[in-house]
Amino acid sequence: GWGKTTLAAHAADPDETVIVMTHDEVGFLTLLDNGLVPDCDQAVIKTWIQLTALLESWIDAPEIKYRVIVFDTMCAFERLLQKKVCDENFGGDMSSKGFGAWRNGPKDCLNGWVSFLKLLEDLNRRGATIMLLEQISMKQAKNPVGDDYLKFVLRSDDLIANVTKDWCSMVLFGRWVTITDNKDSEGKKTGTKGIGGTERIVVTSNHDAWTAKNQWGLPSAIDISEDITNGWETILSSRKGRQT
């Protein structure tokens, strides 16, 4: 992958960082087993109720232990919320006759997700940096003034994705710089092929092809060194440089 989990795991000292993951989204543990991330605290979550109870316990603690709290990944936690809502409101029926009917299930999930964001806001006010990692997919974007086109979007449901993007102070899109060529070694035209893809960048500004934003005064794109472990520090340094 691009390295989002590795970047987040190195954002602060290991004893000041916790990685929160679902029981079926344990990519961090694979990285840990291979020595690619530091041994931060980990919280493996099986249910939505367990997640909210954990966050409330951190909020109620006399002192907050963690400087960085990483959630890996957003769509995995959304699945836990969907299961809770489906069991409670639709008798466990995830089909188009139950949870999926008229998008009633996703609509019912929205209140629970907003409450989750409020818990994150409480943790942030106590000094914790909140990182919500997410996977992406491609979706046809409707263009009212021209042809429709493909766009990278958050994998979560649109309702969840939109309210989360509004809540975040930054939405950063990590990508590889793509370089293509349509000629062979003799200069003859061939099928287009990728010849690059080794330069890693973070995009901070919105684009037709992806969603991004920042309220930190960051440059529109930030080069991330091959050593992704310094990625967060590179982002912070870009912020400071813009402010001085």
What are the pLDDT digits (tens) for 66-103?
999 999 999 999 999 999 999 999 999 999 999 999 99
pLDDT above 60: residue 189: no
pLDDT above 80: residue 185: no
pLDDT band at 178 (very low <50, low <70, confident <90, very high): low
Do 67 and 16 meet the contact criterion of CB atoms below 8 Å apart?
Answer: yes
pLDDT band at 226 (very low <50, low <70, confident <90, very high): confident
* Rounded-to-integer distance, Cα 109 and Cα 72, Å: 19
pLDDT above 60: residue 184: no
Instruction: Report pLDDT for 188.
Output: 56
Tokens 């969603």 -> residue: 211
In the chain, where the domains are located: 1-136, 169-244
Q: Rounded to whole angstroms, what are the CA distances from 217 to 67, 84, 173, 227?
A: 22, 39, 16, 24
Instruction: Report pLDDT for 149.
Output: 84
H or E element that contains 114: helix 104-125
- In the chain, what's the furthest Cα-to-Cα distance? 69
Instruction: Find, among 200, 202, 182, the residue nearest to 190 by Cα.
Output: 182
pLDDT above 60: residue 135: yes
pLDDT band at 169 (very low <50, low <70, confident <90, very high): very high
* Rounded-to-integer distance, Cα 25 and Cα 31, Å: 12
What b/e string do you get for 158-183 counting C-beta neighbours within 10 Å, with b at 16 or more? eebbeebeebbeebbbbbeeeeeeee
Instruction: Report pLDDT for 177.
Output: 83
pLDDT digit string, tens, across residues 34-59: 999 999 999 999 999 999 999 999 99
Instruction: Report, as an integer, the average pLDDT of 197-212.
Output: 88
Do 131 and 70 meet the contact criterion of CB atoms below 8 Å apart?
Answer: yes
The first and second tokens of residue 194, run together, are: 């990728």
Instruction: Report pLDDT for 244.
Output: 34
Instruction: Report pLDDT for 23.
Output: 94
Do 141 and 192 meet the contact criterion of CB atoms below 8 Å apart?
Answer: no
* Rounded-to-integer distance, Cα 15 and Cα 62, Å: 18
The first and second tokens of residue 211, run together, are: 């969603």
pLDDT above 80: residue 28: yes
pLDDT band at 199 (very low <50, low <70, confident <90, very high): confident
* Rounded-to-integer distance, Cα 214 and Cα 170, Å: 4
The 3-state DSSP class for residue 187 equals coil
Instruction: Report pLDDT for 104.
Output: 95
* Rounded-to-integer distance, Cα 18 and Cα 69, Å: 5
Instruction: Report pLDDT for 225.
Output: 73
Q: What percent of the chain has pLDDT over 90?
A: 72
pLDDT above 80: residue 130: yes
The first and second tokens of residue 71, run together, are: 């959630």
Do 125 and 64 meet the contact criterion of CB atoms below 8 Å apart?
Answer: no
Instruction: Report, as an integer, the average pLDDT of 146-151.
Output: 87
